[in-house]
Amino acid sequence: MFTAVSLGLFDNLAGKPKSASKLAEELKLGSDALTRLLDTCVALKLAEKGKAGYRNLPVADVYLRRGSPDTLAGYILYSNRALYALWGHLEDAVREGSDRWQQTFGMPGPLFGHFFRTEEAKRDFIAGMHGYGQLTSPKIVRAFNLARFRRMVDLGGATGHLAMAACRRYPKLRAAVFDLPSVIEVAREYVQTARLVSRIELKPGDFFSDPLPEADLFSMGRILHDWSEEKIRRLLEKIYIRLPKGGALLVAERLLDDSKTGPLSALLQSLNMLVCTEGKERTLAEYAALLRDSGFSKAEGRKTGAPLDAILAVKG
């Protein structure tokens, strides 16, 4: 799948079917090798094969074609070009307990510098995260009743998919996306396309070093799992101080079971964080302890059935 996305097969198989020889000619690939790859995509139920040739099945058309509004192709391309190589050094990561950027690519982290190494790479990755957010954010904002909040700020909010889902769910809510200036440039296009410009502000900044905007609800999706406990506490304390009494923090992360033996997707993601960040996946109890240490009086978790679960922490 990584190779098929990287070669642009699903972009070229949208619409009218194509034979392997025609596609090989267009993409300057070996016909026999491409046929084997295409047949494997058929077996993976990503494409179908008929008398007229190959074409996408709906799942590939929606998630693997770069031109789709729900595409995950950017995240898949990053997984192919970076994460796949990093995982080749998992054994050393376990031995040393640290990420593998230096060993794999001859350069240190953090990972975000690699995400945004070129304008195209940045846009591809952000588009992929937007597609991922489309799968998760609507369920995150339904996990708790957020109707009492009036001003939500999504920290590290990327394209604003969580803010968009919240505004659609709660008509009286106003929101803002707070992210790095280079990300905000791209987010503006997504917010305009969603026709939510009047309800979602875009604020450039670094949540570790810059003052946070005013809000009675902060949110963070797939942020805390990137960092060490020390950095998480520093960020949570900053959020706690900025919130009014009764304000809250909504966290979207993959939750490990209390036994830490499942679910498998969360365990694999935790190993993924080992090879590429200083973070890891955690249990609800571990997140609740970090939140209590930072001043929050109450933290409740909900499994959503989506790739991410939800935690709501309230300032007493």
Positions annotated as catalytic residues are: 225
Residue 159 region by backbone torsions, left for phi larger than 0, else alpha for psi between -120 and 50, else beta: alpha
